[in-house]
Amino acid sequence: MSTLTWYAVLLGLVVLERLAELVLSKRHADWALARGGVERGRGHYPPMVALHSGLLIACLLEAWLLDREFLAWLGLPMLAVVLLAQGLRWWCIATLGRQWNTRVIVVPGLPLVRRGPYRLLRHPNYVAVVAEGVALPLVHSSWITAVVFTVLNAWLLTVRIRAEDAALDSVPRVGPGARPRLGP
């Protein structure tokens, strides 16, 4: 099998992982909304979905249409970064439990999660997103996709983090300094 075929398989596995995330996110969002959760910042969600879907498509198209060469010295370390990013992403999801979803939904009264990767970083899932957005295209030398996604994602994450912080600040605090944690 060619390296491009293996790359397509990798991207297909990432697509399946994303679909699993969306199923879990929907379940968790329904749970949050049933408990009085309020969704904020809806406007950035469709562009976020488009950007992340576009990343997966662009990775393969650039590698195929521009006949990108697989460079083992670059591709193998980038594959390791992709796998580590997936591990971090699922650590975040497991730590947040039902409070994790892909939207900005705050359930009043839930405390801020301060365990797992959240004891180390404020937004660890976004570290995973940034790492994957750089590394996944570079597994097969799709550097244009890596650069374009990184720039657009930086802008989108700025919008997303502001929406999350505003949503968290909008709910009453429970206990001294507690704020609910929402996903991702």
**Can you give the pLDDT at residue 165?**
87
Q: Using one digit for the tens of pLDDT, what is the confidence trace for 10-30? A: 999 999 999 999 999 999 999
Contact between residue 63 and residue 75 where contact means Cβ atoms under 8 Å apart: no
Report field, pTM of the whole predicted structure over 0.75: yes
DSSP string, 90-141: HHHHHHHGGG--SSEEE-TTPPPP-SGGGGT-SSHHHHHHHHHHHHHHHTTT
Which of 133, 123, 6 minimizes the C-alpha distance to 58?
133
pLDDT band with cut points at 50, 70 and 90 for residue 167? confident
Which of 130, 125, 142 minimizes the C-alpha distance to 66?
142
Q: What span, in angstroms and rounded, lies between the C-alpha atoms of 147 and 149?
A: 6
> Percent helix, strand and coil across the chain, each rounded to 5?
70, 5, 25
Q: What span, in angstroms and rounded, lies between the C-alpha atoms of 29 and 21?
A: 12
Q: Using one digit for the tens of pLDDT, what is the confidence trace for 120-157? A: 998 999 999 999 999 999 999 999 999 999 999 999 99
Q: Domain 3-169, what architecture? A: Up-down Bundle (1.20)
**Can you give the pLDDT at residue 176?**
45
| pLDDT over threshold 80, residue 109 | yes
Q: Using one digit for the tens of pLDDT, what is the confidence trace for 38-59? A: 999 899 999 999 999 999 999 9
Domain ranges within the chain, ordered by starting residue: 3-169
**Can you give the pLDDT at residue 147?**
98
Phi, psi of 96 (to 5 degrees): -75, -20
Beta strands in the chain (DSSP E): 38-40, 104-106
Q: Using one digit for the tens of pLDDT, what is the confidence trace for 65-83? A: 999 999 999 999 999 999 9
Phi, psi of 179 (to 5 degrees): -135, 145
Mean pLDDT of the chain: 92
